[in-house]
Amino acid sequence: MAEALKVPTMAEYMAEGKKPEVLFWVGCAGSFDDRAKKITKAFVKLLHEAGVDFAVLGTEESCTGDPAKRAGNEFLFQMQAATNIEVLNGYEIEKVVTACPHCFNTIKNEYPALGGNYEVMHHTQFLKALLNEGKLKVEGGKFKGKRITFHDPCYLGRANGEYEAPRDLLRKLEVELVEMRKCKSNGLCCGAGGGQMFKEPEPGNKDVNIERTEQAMEVKPEVIAAGCPFCNTMMTDGVKGKNKEDSVEVMDVAELIANAHDL
């Protein structure tokens, strides 16, 4: 891909006196992590494909405070929340979409009490809505018939009860969707939540991501689909740890849709 993606910012919209339909909250992983950046770009391509009028905060975005809060630093979390809410309210944001379930959960559930009230959607929910509205076409493509299992992100699934949006999208790709022994409300964590992403695990006999990868391998998938940049990292590491990276791919649902249609 030669040309750079067109990614409008809120500041640019503001300068033109316009307001986008939705703010794409990219998140720290989506902005800085090399693997997660690919998810961000895939999602942006889908937004363009569907003709969605969106913008990002760009350099005005900051960590939601999720890892700080769950590590016990309520103070830092609320400082982050207050700053972000000030920015979001300044732009009169009404609708937010994000590809990170942690940002999704925090902005949706924990910002309202601090003065930040927005309609917040996970990107799989947003893509499903685009599909239902007929703005985005998702059917078949190069993953048709492939054996794919979906790993539920804790902060999308158990935390917010969304199990079907990502699965509905995968079904539209006409993949062979197989479920792990532990899925949906019983899904096993990838091991990254609660600040674990940023620290070494406590002493034990195995890493959580290895355990989860083994559960995924039991159903012999060609692709492990994820809906969270942190799960993606953990599962990718797990697959590498099992020396299976040549036969099993870990991909975000947005990447699967974008790639299926060679976007």
Range 76-115, binding another protein (CB under 8 A): 76, 78-80, 82, 105, 109-110, 113-114
Build a one-symbol-per-residue string for 11-30: x at contacts with another protein by CB under 8 A, - elsewhere.
Answer: ---------------x-x-x
In the complex, the smallest distance separating the C-beta of residue 156 from another protein, rounded to whole angstroms, is 9
Of positions 5, 119, 142, 240, contacts another protein by CB under 8 A:
5
> How far is the C-alpha of 228 from the C-alpha of 122, rounded, in Å?
10
Q: Burial of 62 by CB count in 10 Å (0-12 exposed, 13-18 middle, 19+ buried)?
A: middle
In the complex, the smallest distance separating the C-beta of residue 150 from another protein, rounded to whole angstroms, is 16
32 belongs to the binding site for another protein (CB under 8 A):
yes
For residue 134, give the DSSP letter.
Answer: T
- Count CB-CB contacts under 10 A for residue 5: 11
Amino acid at 9: T
Kindly state the number of chain residues that form the binding site for another protein, as judged by CB under 8 A. Answer: 74
232 belongs to the binding site for another protein (CB under 8 A):
no
Sheet holding 223-226, edge to edge: 176-178, 147-150, 223-226, 249-252
Of positions 186, 218, 220, 245, contacts another protein by CB under 8 A:
186
> How far is the C-alpha of 65 from the C-alpha of 71, rounded, in Å?
10
In the complex, the smallest distance separating the C-beta of residue 205 from another protein, rounded to whole angstroms, is 3
* Chain position carrying tokens 């917010």: 160
In the complex, the smallest distance separating the C-beta of residue 142 from another protein, rounded to whole angstroms, is 21
Binders in 120-179 for another protein, by CB under 8 A: 154-155, 158-161
154 token code pair = 């804790």
Beta carbon nearer to another protein, 75 or 144: 75
